[in-house]
Amino acid sequence: MACSIRKTAARLPEKINREPAMKDQRHTPTWTSFEEAGKADWDAVMEYEEAYNAALPDRILDAIRSLDEDWTPYPVNRFQHCLQAATRAHADGADDEIVVAALVHDVGDILSPYNHGELAAAMMKPYVSERTWWILKHHCVFQGYYYNHHLGGDRHARDKYRDSPYWEDCRKFCHDYDQCAFDPDYPTKPLEFFEPILRRVLARGEGHMELNETSDS
């Protein structure tokens, strides 16, 4: 099902309950520093973390919805832009990772507007390939090809990354899905269409990165 991108998504309530649904909330911590906590304490923490992390897709969906601005100097707002970019990627036959990358690529604008690509890349790193992570991290520089020269910058700044095996992937992502995703009449799919794709990708995580580290790696 597609919808005109001119349609604005329904607003979220100001506060949404995203508290983890723990099985056992009877554990009462008595420690005040990590070095004081014992195994039972950390078992309780990990149960909480697992429940909290299970709701990550919902929090990311909330973040995407928060991009639905009332006014913007762009032809469409950032929420609509992200949906259109993801729709274009999906229509092009891109894999789930790239579709999700297109969906979340500007979410970093919320907290880190001057390097939002790096924030999106860090957020998705545990769940995607190095290629997709690289695209998210560098897409801002590659997007600059289309406007830097109008603003006193170097539109060819992306060329310093030409030795990367992912240069062409990032160029395609920006050219085919990102820079062109501002058409208010493009038949854009709603966020609900992408939710199961997002959940599939986020189900790939390998857990806490620090637990996968060793002293000799």
Which CATH number goes with the domain that contains 70? 1.10.3210.10
Read off the pLDDT of each residue in 176-195 and give the average, rounded to a whole number.
98
Q: How many domains does the chain have?
A: 1
pLDDT above 90: residue 26: no
Determine the pLDDT at residue 209: 75
160 inside domain: yes
171 inside domain: yes
Read off the pLDDT of each residue in 136-142 and give the average, rounded to a whole number.
98
The pTM score is 0.86
Cα four-point dihedral sign 179, 113, 66, 124: positive
Residue 115's domain spans which residues?
Answer: 57-202
**Residue 2 pLDDT level (bands cut at 50, 70, 90):** very low
Determine the pLDDT at residue 27: 86
Closest CA to 19 of 43, 52, 61: 52
Q: pLDDT digits over 81-133, tens only?
A: 999 999 999 999 999 999 999 999 999 999 999 999 999 999 999 999 999 99
Q: Return the bridge partners of 187, or none.
A: 4
Determine the pLDDT at residue 7: 42
Read off the pLDDT of each residue in 14-32 and give the average, rounded to a whole number.
68
The C-alpha atoms of residue 174 and residue 177 are separated, in whole angstroms, by: 6
